[in-house]
Structure 1
Amino acid sequence: MTLKHHVILITGAGGGLGSTAALALAKNGAHVILLDKNIAKLEAVYDAILAANAPEPVIYPFDLAGANENEYQELANKINEEYGSLQGLLHSAVEFSSFTPLCQFGTKEWGHTLNVNLNAAFILTRMLLPVLEKSQHASIVFTSDSSARKAHAYSGAYGVSKIAMEGLAKILAEELEAANKIRVNILVPGAVDSPLRKRAYPAEDKAKLPTMESLVPAYLYLFGSQSIGVTGQTIEAPTFHL
């Protein structure tokens, strides 16, 4: 299952899941565009990909929450000019601070969380659709959260953003299905030993959790040829098997 000649943009590429996906996709031949606001983390992922003798990635420092629409358009234009098309878009960036009652949420924190988790995913997808449509087959993957989907108490803006993001993905999948060029799916990683999990559940015994590398088969499937024609689906990583 090769991803040679695939160009895939990954948001939150410096984070735990984003970097795991970037390395796995690159090892399978993809040319990955690493997008994150943390340059040091991007450089670490870049070095890991080179060390694996995978195709050299591109680092694109970008603040999803702070960027304006023109900056998003500039990103899309650069990808179009450099590659002519895009075969994959992975929304892996995430903002989560803590479990907080809604009555204690500040307006600024609420807005920032929704900007990163929801609004940025919408704007970036909209800007990149013309570039994705130039591919014979392209894949958009939104990263969700099983606990947030159940609307648990105290999940706050994070929970709301994930619920809304799943709605966005489902609507987009239906709108694009007839053209049969861009598939849109949701990946639910489940409980894995990730940096986000450490922040959310600091007292949990992480040794009992699957590693982030356990998600690699799901990433390869969603961006590989085996998932062509599969759209509007929610892939639960803990139960996923090729």
Structure 2
Amino acid sequence: MLLNKNVILITGAGGGVGSVAALTLAQAGAHIILLDKSIAKLEKIYDAIVAIGAPDPIMYPFDLAGATESDYLELAERIDTSYGLLQGLLHCAVEFIAFTPMALLDTKDWGHSLNVNLNAPFLLSRVLLSVLKKSKHASIVFVSDSAVRNAQAYTGAYGVSKIALEALAKILAEELESSQKIRVNTLIPGPVDSPLRTRAFPGEDKAELPPVTSLAGAFLYLFGEASIGVTGQTINAQTLHL
């Protein structure tokens, strides 16, 4: 049980990448806080974790796009009260609408995407820092996307938010490095057969892609003892040698 009794919060826990992370880390012994706006998806991953005999997770329905700062503070307070500390925070929640030219990008869609993909990770990380600092070692992981890292045309608000997210991760890593308690890294899953990939590239032959479960090793590394001392890095899951 590599992560025995570690408490890890996962946003977008009902999604493809998020659910793999939740199952993987729970099977390694972690107590998982499942955060997602979809109750049906939360119940599905909750049942899957219970079915493998892992520690019972906690379901926390939460709409990142519509939540207020007080909602985030309440979440942090509940975690502090229930557990007293936090060893991990994984930002998997993502909002992707479509590849769209900037000239046609709807203002509402722009704001919604930035709220979920950038503002929410900032707010959640900020309010949870005090709880994360109570652990001897803690890990914050931001999930980005190799398809938009070079500011490609038509990636719109999704591309802007992911590029900014990587900058946020590096800045936060530098600010926390001196304490040697909280490591902050960005994970690039690479092309995998996930629901997000299907929405973005519906005509792609998914049989040629690695399954989303291939990311399990990367999650165990980033939240396990092997990555202690590794911070401020952008890690490609497809080239990570474990």
TM-score by length of 2: 0.99
1:105-134: CA deviations, max 9, x gaps?
111100000000000000000000000000
Q: Distance in 2 between matches of 1:76 and 1:46?
A: 21
Report how many aligned residue pairs link the two structures: 242
Q: Distance in 2 between matches of 1:64 and 1:71?
A: 10
Q: Secondary structure at the match of 2:44?
A: helix
Q: Distance in 2 between matches of 1:99 and 1:134?
A: 41
Residue in 2 aligned with 1:51? 51
1:30-64: CA deviations, max 9, x gaps?
00000000000000000000011100000000000
1:5 Cα deviation from its structure 2 partner? 1.4
Residue in 1 aligned with 2:201? 201
Q: Secondary structure at the match of 2:179?
A: coil
1:148 Cα deviation from its structure 2 partner? 0.9
Q: Distance in 2 between matches of 1:216 and 1:10?
A: 14
Residue in 1 aligned with 2:69? 69
Residue in 2 aligned with 1:8? 8
TM-score by length of 1: 0.99
The answer to whether 1:151 aligns with 2:151 is yes
Q: Distance in 1 between matches of 2:165 and 2:148?
A: 11
The answer to whether 1:130 aligns with 2:130 is yes
1:180 Cα deviation from its structure 2 partner? 0.2
Q: Distance in 2 between matches of 1:70 and 1:97?
A: 27
Residue in 2 aligned with 1:217? 217
- For structure 2, list consecutive stretches of 5 or more residues without a partner in the other structure: none
What pairs with 1:1-242 in structure 2 (closer than 5 Å)? 2-242=2-242
- What is the identity, as a one-letter code, of the residue corresponding to 1:173? A
Q: Distance in 1 between matches of 2:71 and 2:236?
A: 33
- What is the identity, as a one-letter code, of the residue corresponding to 1:102? M
Q: Secondary structure at the match of 1:241?
A: coil
Q: Distance in 2 between matches of 1:147 and 1:75?
A: 32
- What is the identity, as a one-letter code, of the residue corresponding to 1:59? M
- For structure 1, list consecutive stretches of 5 or more residues without a partner in the other structure: none
- What is the identity, as a one-letter code, of the residue corresponding to 1:140? I
Q: Distance in 2 between matches of 1:17 and 1:59?
A: 17
- What is the identity, as a one-letter code, of the residue corresponding to 1:141? V
Q: Distance in 2 between matches of 1:145 and 1:41?
A: 22
Alpha-carbon RMSD across the aligned residues, in angstroms, is 0.6
1:239 Cα deviation from its structure 2 partner? 0.6
1:129-182: CA deviations, max 9, x gaps?
000000000000000011111111000000000000000000000000000000
- What is the identity, as a one-letter code, of the residue corresponding to 2:139? S
Deviating beyond 6 angstroms after TM superposition, the runs of 4 or more aligned structure 1 residues are none
